Structure 1
Amino acid sequence: MRISKFEEKKIDLYSREIRILEAEFKIESFGYYDFYLNYEPIENFSKSYVFINNLAYGEVQFYEGKNYSYLGELKLKPEKYTFQIAFPYEDFKINFLEIKEKDQSNSKIKNFKIRNNLSDNAKRILEFFQKIYANYIIAGQHTNTSAGPEIAYIEYITGEKPALRGFDLLSYTPATKTQEMTPHAIIEIEGNKGSIEKALEWGRDFGGIVTFCWHWYAPLGGKDKTFYTINTDFDLEKALIEGTEENKALLRDIYMIGEKLSIFRGLDLPILWRPLHEADGRWFWWGAKGPENYKKLYHLLYEILTEKFKLNNLIWIWNAPHPDWEIEEDLYDIAGIDNYVPPGNHGPMKFSYDLLLKLTDYRKLVALTENGPIPDPDLLFEYEAYFLWFMPWFGDFVFNESFNSKEHLKKVYNHEKVITLNKLRKLFSMR
């Protein structure tokens, strides 16, 4: 069927009003349906969020020079539905939404392979991930500080802890004292110190899973939080030229991080390693010079950490979900997407899941590596959005009930298909 009648409306998203296009459609029979969008050709890449019956179904992408996008696949019941899409750019115009019924789903991982050059425990945890895929989702929580009050809050509310705890390496390189530092930046850096020790405790003593990202302060400084492109003039293109001042500072930082991560290698503790995240957004300096320079930096980081430091316990996560930014499949293990939908919206994010599968040719496990509201587990499994884990950001995304209410946290953490720390200990152990 084709739907060509759309009405413009406005909704609130994170305290700002955004424009959406809305249309209704009716499904006559239970089954699987592919969604396609035909629109007026665009000059520059853009992306947007889709909502169905006011639930968030995740991210869709629009590529320059094209006018047709595959949104994803949904399993739908016979009833009326409302389709909404936020304007990805000012003069966005839809020609029609096309919905095609098909006999069966194709949105599952096929031919996932574990890299040979991984440590024994890294292989074991990936085998565990394979085993639970499509049957469970791992509860994750990012903690920006070593204290991680989010963990205590979740346990107080739900009686459970997440199985996966997220840490950041933002305080572990030397150029963190910058010009015009705000109190927030200073507090963030100081609070982050000790994260390595807490990560060791989480993995070694608690039996949890550890993931690291790296808000990499620009190696030659700038103002305030210099991982943001807008706050530094650090030039990645120059930094990739051997012998330059930028190159020396870049390598200094990588070697310092390599030394820190070597602590985990000595214990054969696997680390879910998500470096250079969200590069495709270009708001971080490691993405500011475009995909080719990002790829060169990724390759350099991979080479140093894997070959020089022998960090075969790192499970690499590619987190720049765009075809132009894609890394070779033998250089990463899991694909991740970061999505922040409206507060309190616990939709299944199925189109984000399908986007990752398509980008990875259905050959990689995929995860919701950052999010605000946690998708409702019932909806995740009903719509077959088989993310490996979810990972709310820190602070208000946990403590502010507009994002994740106490009742929602209780439901999620006590759901039979959600793996908490207690359930992880029963299902899997490194020992």
Structure 2
Amino acid sequence: MSEPLRIGIAGLGTVGASVARILADKAATLTAQCGRGIVVSGVSARDRSKDRGVDLSGAKWFDTPAEMAVSGEIDVFVELIGGEDGPALDGIRAALEAGRHVVTANKALLARHGVELAETSEDKGLILNYEAAVAGGIPVIKTMRESMAANTPSRVYGILNGTANYILTRMESDELSFEDCLAEAQRLGYAEADPTFDIEGQDTAHKLAILTSLAFGTKVASEEIYIEGISNISLGDIHAARELGYRIKLLGVAQRTATGIEQRVHPTMVPLGSMIGQVDRVTNAVAIEADTVGSLLLSGPGAGGDATASAVIGDIADIAKSHPGRQVAPVFGRAATELRPYERAEMTSHAGGYFIRMTVHDRIGVFATLAAHMAENDISLESIVQHGTVNGEVDAPKTVILVTHETTESHVRKAIEAVLEDGHLVSKPQVIRIEPAG
């Protein structure tokens, strides 16, 4: 049997500790599957004295990840620190330069430096695996990078952030406000003390950028994504969506269009009966539409120590099974030097159905004016619904909900600008896109 594969873990938080524990617990099984053992021979973390619930006495401690990366103690550098720069990036760069394979769960780092790191690893014949960077324990990277070679994807979309999905699920199921659901998510550990990264869509955008590169062979371009978060979603929106047969989800969507690749993150209405509409709480899901296989939906835990560690260990096991001299698979499904520049499709050209909620003054002719502005901008209405007065008083503002047939973002924006100029609106309108979903 071959010599054991020696790994160095940088970062011993929830995921890092889970990786070390599972490797110890599953040692015999992994050895049988990989044909060689896997041992933790090096670790680097800020606090050496902390009890992490796993025996690390056989591993050498290093003061910095970069020091461990270039040592002769390891064969694989496992980065679980987080952050797009700093020690995480320094450690990965050092590991690749020293001829070490790399496993990372760091979506922010890959979204910013992925192409550079892919070029280095491929040039040196090294493996760079990152299954845990997108959708936790769901094997979407392996599926897209290896199993779909015979496919040309046209769209990839999904629920990529468990915190946002938990909040939206709880708002609907328990009639709670956004603020109450966020506080609950923080209490349960699903949301950080500063939840901005999750609820405003940046976390989803980083993951979507990686999926876009895999799907369409473009360079990772997280800065080119249209992003809206969920902090402006109200219980009224949740109720109205359900009445119309929809459920609101924060989706990341990438698709090929006639004008380029569309990347967008925003609250989206999906049909109640759709598979993705049934994905609740902290669960993630990724849907892939392609020419050969048709449609796939992968769903499972998108975060958590064991789920993420499962993906990390799967990446390590792939390296353990590899043979020296074997052709290394490209990091993003094709050679990094052949990734095309990203050509962004303007969001104004996006076509689809729209939900528009407006709070208007109770005046004669308001309905007719709204309908006229929609018609002037070539927007066909599927339905228009007026709800009762906002606070039950006579002459109080009323809520009007419009659902459009397929139209373009630019037409919707122009119509709303015209309504705003008329002075009928009490507050800023709510616009939520409607996404066809399986």
TM-score (norm 1): 0.27
The structure whose residues are more often helix, as a share, is 2
* TM-score when normalising by structure 2: 0.26
**Rg (Cα) greater in structure:** 2
